[in-house]
Structure 1
Amino acid sequence: MIKKLKEFLLINIGIIMVACGMYFFLMNNNLATGGANGLAIVINHFIPKVPVGIIMIVINIVLFIVAFIFIGSSFGVKTIYASFGISFAVLILEKTINLKGSLTGDILLELIFGILISGAGMGIVFNQNASTGGTDIIAKILNKFFHINLGKAVLLSDLSITVAAAFAFGIKMSMYAMLGVIINGFVIDAVLEGINMCKEVTIVSKEYEKINQFIIKDLDRCSTFYNGRGGFTNKEKNILVVVIGRREVGKLKHYITEVDKDAFITVSNICEVLGYGFKS
């Protein structure tokens, strides 16, 4: 129950971040940086009386109907919730906060801030095994019927929207939007890696048994032993490897230095871990 509530809370935080990044920085500058939101910004240019939030809702309804027909229901309830949640959040912002024009007058600055905020929000949503819908659905259809790699399919879908933006807002704004699409991919990857990042610690020590017991009992982690041979001493050695959270690295290093000041330790970044004690 607690896990579900945490998941629900994080998805909502992601939704709010995406909506705020869009409304305060991207929409007022006509930066159609891909996705259903980008397409909605382009359509709103030709039908200005219809709010972007309403257009996003209509686009998502159409896309989900297409998805049910061609893909099935595999994209999940959380994706439906997240995509419509963003649409409604944008609509609420449009109705409650009347923004006219750019906040700073600097398009590049607002593009960067808008992408950083919305991209981070998308990363949070993706980390909860959900999606923001939109071009993800188009990408899945392209992948299924034309066997295009998902990553390339998403990029192709988003870039097609930025090309459409050229007809609505001109080449300059279209190029800004393309830059935003590229930056957005890096931001999402960085957020996902940052959230899921763990540490792999490799330890060579004569007190490996004590260290192993500390890992199991105090850190509640599993470890693995390898047999090795020292290149200089030519002696047999036991190599202990463990994957732990970032906060646990300090505790482990402190304990190791207490029991064996001559221990050899390496620490590496691990982007994601699946299994006991981590994500299922």
Structure 2
Amino acid sequence: MTTTAQHSKIQDVLTRLVDTQPQVLLLEGGTVDERMDMAMHWARLNNCATRTACGHCPACVQIEQGVHVDIKLLDGREGKIKIDDVRELKPLFGQPPRGDGKRVVILAEAQELIVAAANALLKSLEEPCPGTLFVLLAPQRERLLPTLVSRSWVLTLPWPHGGGLDGEAADWLRALGQFAQSGTGWFAKTGAKGAVTRDIALKVVLACRKDLTAILAGRSPSPMGAQLAARLDLGRLKKFDLTLAHAEDALSLPTAVNPAMVLDWLATRTYRLLRERP
């Protein structure tokens, strides 16, 4: 990952946290890869011989190579995290780390925890876990059980693709707003050859996500978001949030997914939500 000024600030916060070490750290925002990079940086900080994530000591090298004995990964990027996955690691939680640092248990894309697995994790967090730290990675904290979030120290990474919308993303958001209102114009736009790339589709989903966040926080959204705020109650806003989550998950899959089809599904679902009775 290219380290930007914003990401350097996040790393600085993590460095300061080493002295207080929250048992559960929740990293939200950013991209899938950025969240994982920051989780590995946290693992290095807590096991580095110099406590600086130097990248050169034996512990840092082993973490980079994925062979450090005290770094455990439950990987929601590969599918659902099941209760057996949590139970398999549970005996370790009551044991001290085998190395000189901390055991770091990373739950990548923790929104993929099935409910039983999330509850099993919660029970583990209620018990003493000497020398063990947990890192939850998720696009947004709202996609995790509130009880998990309440136990976490939350750190938000910068939004992908920068803080504001570029011209291309703004154009797509206007088109989505037009379709949501009138049901016209969208499919001709997504059907043009090469018009929709995965990057564009993610920008559209991100723009909708930022609108939803603005609505829930009482801030002014885009014109597209204003339509949602005016016509959707809280229950349907939650459905819209779930729609965005499904779209983002589809675009994040390692296997090829047609991004135009994902956007068409998002647009159609948004159109229907605006017309669904409360």
The TM-score normalised by the length of structure 1 is 0.30
The structure whose Rg is larger is 1
Query: Higher relative contact order at CA 8 Å, sep ≥6: structure 1 or structure 2?
Result: 1
Task: Identify the structure with the greater helix proportion.
Answer: 1
